[in-house]
């Protein structure tokens, strides 16, 4: 039968991009805030399980030349592509291995950061168990593990729609045909309904239709390898934490959005409900977070773990932020209201956070170290999602008089990559206009000179350059 996992990956390649939430600089900061004296970034050892062609590790290895990176993936073809790219980029601190992660043992040594994105919920039980076994065995004393997984109970909704798609595509052996059949059924489930249908629609219908509508926006890779994968095993937070404990690990936090702790406000819940949940949990933090997942129907987690013997000293104390580096991509759209491109917004009239956010916004994409006088506001705003904290200064710079693009961005463009890795460790999908402009931004031209070279208007050129600066492609370093 042709519909094997390898055949699927050949016909529908897995989308492989840098994942900002796995950046050691961010993991370091989250660990420090959680009370772990996390390993230094510049000389860390990083292992990624399910690394594919290394698009997540290559930018890390390029920008942390004294650190060491190893990526493991079962599929040899993406590994070979990644090795070729790493060779072209001159990376001697990155090793990509085509192997079964079940074969990883103590000979690999210890690691300060172990990343497992897109593995735990989408592999058989023995493989997901091995993910945590590797972390339990190979993490350094204060090392941090990152594990992403689909969560319960929202996972039941995903499972229902997944089973419907699988039924409709059951006769299709070819992955491309299976994908087309799945989309065909999703389109019916998400269809525009007549008023009669809407009148008869209940809450279950509405939830399934909304999920199908969202799935139709997914890439072929996401739909095939996440929703139609051979295995799909969502886990509740408490079950995941119990599994981690069996391997000598303890749950720390969530890498994408730190879990609420202390204070009355909880994202997605009103103050009264949050207080009721806190009372029901009776001091059990994991139980409280599990209730949050129930009430907010959280569908996905990116959990951080460390060894159980690590003493979490004063977790989330504001003083833990001192020495970290703060930045914010938010823009003040009206007095006291700051907005992100994602739609996130926060408003304040208090002079302290207002002044702090304005200062960080003016610096973006650069950062500033958190001082003892700023640590309270920096930690509180980070909890609220208004700023970012990292273990190292931002490598991205403002445009300056003669903007200069990061070396790796230029190397990736030269290699023919349509997506490049920014200094914020985010993927940037380039268009033809951007690919014409970026190579000219080599630090030798002003905006006026760039406009002349491109036969563009100076203001248009400056606008393009400022936009690129906000995306984190410029560096202030020397070649």
| 3-class DSSP string for 51-70 | CCCCCCHHHHHHHCCCCEEE
- Helices in 364-424 by DSSP H: which ranges? 375-384, 407-414
Return the sign of the alpha-carbon dihedral for residues 441, 447, 453, 455: positive
Both 381 and 329 in one domain: the answer is yes
Residue with tokens 């993406």: 78
Q: How many helices (H) and strands (E) does the chain have?
A: 19, 15
Short-list 291, 295, 270, CA closest to 281:
291
| pLDDT of 20 | 96
Rounded Cα distance, 180 and 184, in Å: 6
Q: Which residues of the chain have pLDDT under 50?
A: 1-3, 479
Both 189 and 249 in one domain: the answer is no
Q: Are 439 and 410 in contact (CB under 8 A)?
A: yes
Domain for residue 282, yes or no?
Answer: yes
Both 58 and 24 in one domain: the answer is yes
Both 244 and 216 in one domain: the answer is no
Domain for residue 346, yes or no?
Answer: yes
Q: Are 184 and 168 in contact (CB under 8 A)?
A: yes
pLDDT of 16-34, one tens digit each? 899 999 999 999 999 999 9
Both 146 and 159 in one domain: the answer is no
Domain for residue 397, yes or no?
Answer: no
Rounded Cα distance, 151 and 300, in Å: 5
Kindly report the pTM of this predicted structure: 0.94
Owning domain of residue 199 = 155-227
Both 208 and 335 in one domain: the answer is no
Both 145 and 241 in one domain: the answer is yes
Both 347 and 361 in one domain: the answer is yes
Number of domains the chain is built from:
4
Maximum CA pair distance of the chain? Answer: 67
| pLDDT of 1 | 31
Domain for residue 396, yes or no?
Answer: no
Domain endpoint, select from 206, 227, 248: 227
| pLDDT of 265 | 60
Element (H, E) at 126: helix 125-138
Domain for residue 243, yes or no?
Answer: yes
Q: Is 180 left (phi over 0), alpha (psi -120 to 50) or beta?
A: alpha
Both 289 and 421 in one domain: the answer is no
pLDDT of 216-240, one tens digit each? 999 998 898 888 888 999 999 999 9
Domain endpoint, select from 307, 333, 350: 307
Domain endpoint, select from 279, 307, 335: 307
Q: Are 115 and 138 in contact (CB under 8 A)?
A: no
Q: Are 368 and 360 in contact (CB under 8 A)?
A: yes
| pLDDT of 6 | 59
| pLDDT of 264 | 55
Both 361 and 263 in one domain: the answer is no
Domain for residue 327, yes or no?
Answer: yes
Both 255 and 351 in one domain: the answer is no
Domain for residue 477, yes or no?
Answer: no
Q: Are 427 and 419 in contact (CB under 8 A)?
A: yes
Domain for residue 47, yes or no?
Answer: yes
Both 98 and 180 in one domain: the answer is no
- Judge residue 153's burial from the number of C-beta atoms within 10 Å of its C-beta, 0-12 exposed, 13-18 middle, 19 or more buried: middle
| pLDDT of 262 | 56
């Amino acid at each position: 039968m042709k519909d094997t996992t390898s055949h699927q990956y050949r016909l529908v390649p897995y989308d492989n991009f840098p994942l900002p939430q796995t950046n050691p600089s961010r993991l370091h900061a989250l660990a420090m805030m959680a009370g772990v004296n996390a390993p230094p970034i510049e000389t860390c050892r990083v292992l990624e399980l399910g690394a594919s062609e290394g698009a997540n590790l290559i930018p890390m290895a390029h920008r942390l030349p004294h650190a060491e990176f190893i990526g493991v993936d079962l599929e040899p073809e993406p590994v070979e592509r990644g090795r070729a790219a790493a060779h072209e980029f001159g990376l001697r601190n990155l090793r990509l291995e085509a192997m079964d992660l079940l074969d990883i043992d103590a000979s690999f040594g210890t690691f300060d950061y172990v990343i497992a994105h897109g593995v735990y919920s989408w592999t058989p039980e023995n493989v997901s168990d091995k993910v945590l076994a590797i972390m339990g065995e190979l993490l350094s004393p204060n090392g941090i593990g990152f594990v992403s997984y689909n969560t319960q109970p929202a996972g039941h909704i995903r499972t229902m729609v997944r089973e419907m798609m699988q039924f409709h595509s059951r006769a299709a052996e070819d992955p491309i045909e299976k994908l087309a059949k799945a989309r065909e059924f999703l389109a019916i489930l998400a269809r525009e309904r007549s008023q009669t249908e809407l009148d008869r629609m209940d809450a279950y219908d509405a939830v399934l239709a909304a999920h199908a509508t969202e799935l139709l926006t997914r890439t072929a890779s996401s739909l095939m390898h996440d929703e139609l994968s051979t295995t799909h095993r969502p886990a509740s937070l408490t079950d995941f934490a119990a599994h981690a404990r069996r391997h000598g690990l303890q749950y720390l936090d969530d890498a994408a959005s730190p879990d609420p702790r202390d204070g009355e406000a909880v994202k997605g819940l009103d103050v009264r409900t949050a207080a009721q949940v806190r009372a029901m949990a009776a001091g059990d933090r994991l139980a409280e977070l599990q209730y949050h997942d129930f009430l907010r129907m959280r569908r996905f987690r990116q959990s951080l773990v460390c060894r159980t013997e690590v003493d979490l000293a004063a977790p989330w104390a504001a003083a833990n932020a001192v020495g970290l580096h703060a930045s914010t991509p938010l823009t003040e759209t009206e007095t006291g209201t700051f907005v992100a491109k994602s739609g996130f917004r926060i408003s304040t009239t208090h002079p302290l956070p207002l002044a702090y956010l304005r200062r960080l916004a003016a610096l973006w994409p650069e950062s500033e170290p958190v001082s003892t006088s700023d640590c309270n506001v920096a930690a509180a705003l980070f909890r609220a999602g208004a700023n970012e904290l990292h273990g190292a200064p931002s490598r991205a710079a403002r445009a300056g008089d003669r903007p200069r693009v990061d070396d790796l961005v230029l190397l990736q463009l030269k290699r023919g990559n349509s997506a490049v890795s920014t200094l914020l460790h985010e993927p940037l999908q380039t268009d033809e206009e951007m690919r014409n402009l970026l190579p000219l931004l080599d630090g030798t031209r002003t905006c006026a000179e760039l406009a002349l070279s491109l036969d563009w208007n100076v203001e248009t050129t400056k606008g393009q350059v400022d936009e690129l600066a906000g995306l984190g492609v410029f560096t202030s370093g020397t070649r």
